[in-house]
Amino acid sequence: MMKSKMGEIWMQETELYVEADKGLTAITAQQRGNNEQDRTGFSFVQCKITGTAQGAYLGRARKSSPRVVFAFSDMSNVVNPEGWSHDLSPERAQTVFYGEYKCSGPGAAPAGRVPYSSQLTETVARQFLTLGFVDGSKWLLPPPNVQINS
């Protein structure tokens, strides 16, 4: 599922295939500009990051206050050990919200992560784990009730 209005994305059980690139490779570049009034952000739940890239960032700060969370996701070695980028704007390290919760795989090791990212607690992660994060009840139809007769 994905909603991309005003910078909101919710993805669940999605493979994110990251191709090699000569420049800075980032999986996300959320453009949230004001962390007080803008409730937008990206949430990736139970996703799998694969590909041919080397050193891909989970996110880069396209504007001053991006909000991106990866939860229960499997990260291959295409992910840069630092995980996140302030996009050559060090002052953004004070305003970004980059979080990870119970991710696995060789690209998920928290030891090398930048200091302005977080390994989230269950309490903090919970708000990003439901469709309420992107107001899903307002735009997602209920799944069809398919009956299979044998």
CATH of the domain at 12: 2.160.20.10
Over residues 46-50, the mean pLDDT reads 97
Do 94 and 37 meet the contact criterion of CB atoms below 8 Å apart?
no
Name 95's Cβ contacts closer than 8 Å, sequence gap at least 6: 35, 64, 65
Whole-angstrom distance, CA of residue 114 vs CA of residue 94: 12
Name 131's Cβ contacts closer than 8 Å, sequence gap at least 6: 1, 10, 137, 140
For the stretch 90-130, pLDDT in tens is: 888 898 999 999 999 999 999 999 999 999 999 999 988 88
Q: How many structural domains are present in the chain?
A: 1
Do 64 and 28 meet the contact criterion of CB atoms below 8 Å apart?
no
In a domain, residue 1? The reply is no
Total-model pTM:
0.85
* Banded pLDDT at 143 (limits 50, 70, 90): low
Whole-angstrom distance, CA of residue 134 vs CA of residue 11: 10
Least confident of 62-76, 94-108, 125-139: 125-139
Q: Is the pLDDT of residue 25 over 60?
A: yes
In a domain, residue 145? The reply is no
